[in-house]
Amino acid sequence: MAGLPSGQEKAQTPTPTPLGVYVHVPFCATTCDFCAFYQTVPKGDAIARYLDGIEAEAGLVEWGGRAAATAFWGGGTPGLLKADQLDRLGRIMLLYCGGQPTEWSVELAPATVTAERLAVLKALGVTRISLGVQSFNDALLDALGRQHTPAQVYRAYDLIRAQGFASVNVDLMFALPGQEETQWRADLDEALRLAPDHLSTYCLTFEEDTALWVKLSQGKVKLDPAKEALFYQRTWDYLGAAGFAQYEVSNFARQGHACTHNLNTWHMYEWVGLGPSGASQHAGWRASNPPDLGLWLADVGAGRRATADRTALTEALLASDAVVFGLRMNAGVSLPRLRKRFPRANWSGLEDLLPRLLLEGLLTATQEGVIRLTPRGRLIADAVGAEVLEAFEAETRSTSR
Ligand code: SF4
């Protein structure tokens, strides 16, 4: 690679980083108003063809004899698969990914939770269930276009607990159209009453090409950044007082229940994404599968996978993303450690940026070189991340000249 600027050299990681497997299950019965994920209504034999595609794709992955440390099934709605289909998906994954992962998460929508499906997942070795509750308030669920009721949430939660999974997460959303602070507090109280091991609390976002985006453009709902900031702050304070340690902007866990798969992703380790729209960062490149069941099936049927936006992993790319995602974590970023891991990334752009972020009270830094967002910085984590990326990119541009 002689002659290339340092920031563009290919990363050579001496010790393999942990490998994760993400399986995208792209089926939903209906589309939630806020949803920007790829999903489709399963028609005819779509699920059977999807499972054949997963088997074909898993056979194409350059596993290199490595076993996956963690697995995550998301969607879409994995629970739309019947028990025997979940079993087949699990067996395919276990066959190819080197045996039982130490952590295996499955997202489930409350309306899809049955004792039969849970028994299959438990027998496969799933360790963690993530229940997509979003809210306990009927009217707010309706406003999101969600198809479940609070009664279905309670029933699903009890069934999940009865199966004895090691870890249970509850997903909630806040800053919903018309949601008052007291209603959000009531949702948090109700979630705490269930006593999950992990809570994910997401601020509602307005993504293009969603029903919510249309409502926004028609003036039927409004953005309210001040309310969002208030809800964030109240959430952090309230869950902290309730014994949940915040470990990322949107994620809280009781001791020992943080999601390792997500942590490994944010540390910019490696993952294999299977299924339509599945994204991979593995074997020296980053790429996504087509977000379309038919196109993805055609790809894997022809022996191709993850062909879109295939990008070589460089130290510059990994270092900048490790800082951006690292800053979203409460543990922060150890700059000496990252510099050791990516010695050929060009760090001077970030060094120029840091004093201003410190001065503006968005970051703190320890003597050991660990930088962390302050609560104020965490409220604008996306904007800080954009500045970090720009600093790395500007530096790469200047060294390329
Ligand atoms: S269940 Fe999830 S993936 Fe499906 S439409 Fe709703 S938000 Fe999107």
CA distances from residue 144 to 131, 181, 218 in whole angstroms, order as listed: 16, 17, 16
- Tell whether ligand 1 has an atom less than 6 A from the beta carbon of residue 101: no
User: Bigger pLDDT: 247 or 395?
Assistant: 247
- The band of 2, judged by pLDDT with boundaries at 50, 70 and 90, is very low
The residues, any chain, with a CB within 8 Å of residue 85's CB and separated by 6 or more, are 47, 48, 51
**C-beta neighbour count of 400 within 10 angstroms:** 10
Q: Which domains does the chain have, with CATH numbers?
A: 19-265 (3.20.20.70), 315-399 (1.10.10.920)
- Tell whether ligand 1 has an atom less than 6 A from the beta carbon of residue 246: no
Q: Quick one: which of 2, 19, 88, 10 has its CA closest to 273?
A: 19
| Cα separation, 268 vs 284, whole angstroms | 12
* pLDDT for res 399: 61
Q: Can you read off the two tokens belonging to residue 337?
A: 């450690």
* pLDDT for res 397: 62
Helix 315-327 and helix 381-400, axial crossing angle in degrees, nearest 10: 160
* pLDDT for res 209: 80
- The band of 3, judged by pLDDT with boundaries at 50, 70 and 90, is very low
- The band of 82, judged by pLDDT with boundaries at 50, 70 and 90, is very high
* pLDDT for res 5: 36
**C-beta neighbour count of 259 within 10 angstroms:** 23
Ligand 1 centre distance from Cα of residue 370 (Å): 37
* pLDDT for res 293: 97
Q: Give DSSP secondary structure letters for 120-150.
A: HHHHHT--EEEEEEE-S-HHHHHHHT----H
For the chain, the first-to-last Cα distance in angstroms comes to 17
Per DSSP, the three-state class of 282 is strand
Per-residue pLDDT of 132-147, as tens digits, reads 999 999 999 988 888 8
Given a cut of 90, is residue 126 above it in pLDDT?
A: yes
Mean pLDDT calculated for residue range 160-173 = 98
Burial of residue 305, with CB atoms counted within 10 A of its CB: 0-12 exposed, 13-18 middle, 19 or more buried: buried
Q: Identify whether the C-beta of residue 269 lies closer than 8 Å to the C-beta of residue 275.
A: no
User: Bigger pLDDT: 31 or 342?
Assistant: 342
Alpha carbon nearest to ligand 1 atom 6, residue? 32
Ligand 1 centre distance from Cα of residue 358 (Å): 38
* pLDDT for res 398: 63
* 118-122, Cβ contacts within 8 angstroms, sequence gap of 24 or more: 118/159, 118/160, 118/163, 118/165, 119/83, 119/163, 120/83, 120/84, 120/86, 120/87, 120/90, 121/86, 121/90, 121/163, 121/165, 122/163, 122/164, 122/165
* pLDDT for res 396: 64
Mean pLDDT of the chain: 92
Per-residue pLDDT of 26-61, as tens digits, reads 999 988 888 888 999 999 999 999 999 999 999 999
Q: Identify whether the C-beta of residue 131 lies closer than 8 Å to the C-beta of residue 157.
A: yes
Mean pLDDT calculated for residue range 155-163 = 98
* pLDDT for res 395: 61
Burial of residue 42, with CB atoms counted within 10 A of its CB: 0-12 exposed, 13-18 middle, 19 or more buried: buried
Query: What number does the ligand 1 atom closest to the CA of 36 have?
Result: 8
Mean pLDDT calculated for residue range 52-81 = 96
Mean pLDDT calculated for residue range 264-276 = 97
- Catalogue the E-assigned strands of 244-381: 245-248, 251-253, 270-274, 279-282, 285-288, 308-312, 333-334, 363-365, 370-373
* pLDDT for res 194: 97
- Tell whether ligand 1 has an atom less than 6 A from the beta carbon of residue 275: no
Ligand 1 centre distance from Cα of residue 108 (Å): 10
Q: Quick one: which of 259, 260, 280, 233 has its CA closest to 379?
A: 233
Given a cut of 90, is residue 394 above it in pLDDT?
A: no
| Cα separation, 251 vs 258, whole angstroms | 8
Mean pLDDT calculated for residue range 227-253 = 95
- Tell whether ligand 1 has an atom less than 6 A from the beta carbon of residue 35: yes
| Cα separation, 195 vs 174, whole angstroms | 19
Given a cut of 50, is residue 277 above it in pLDDT?
A: yes
- Tell whether ligand 1 has an atom less than 6 A from the beta carbon of residue 129: no
* pLDDT for res 215: 85
Per-residue pLDDT of 83-124, as tens digits, reads 999 999 999 999 999 999 999 999 999 999 999 999 999 999
Helix 381-400 and helix 348-359, axial crossing angle in degrees, nearest 10: 150
- Tell whether ligand 1 has an atom less than 6 A from the beta carbon of residue 76: yes
Given a cut of 90, is residue 173 above it in pLDDT?
A: yes
User: Bigger pLDDT: 292 or 205?
Assistant: 292
Per-residue pLDDT of 189-215, as tens digits, reads 999 999 999 999 999 988 888 888 888
- The band of 336, judged by pLDDT with boundaries at 50, 70 and 90, is very high
The two beta strands, 251-253 and 198-203, are: antiparallel
Given a cut of 60, is residue 302 above it in pLDDT?
A: yes
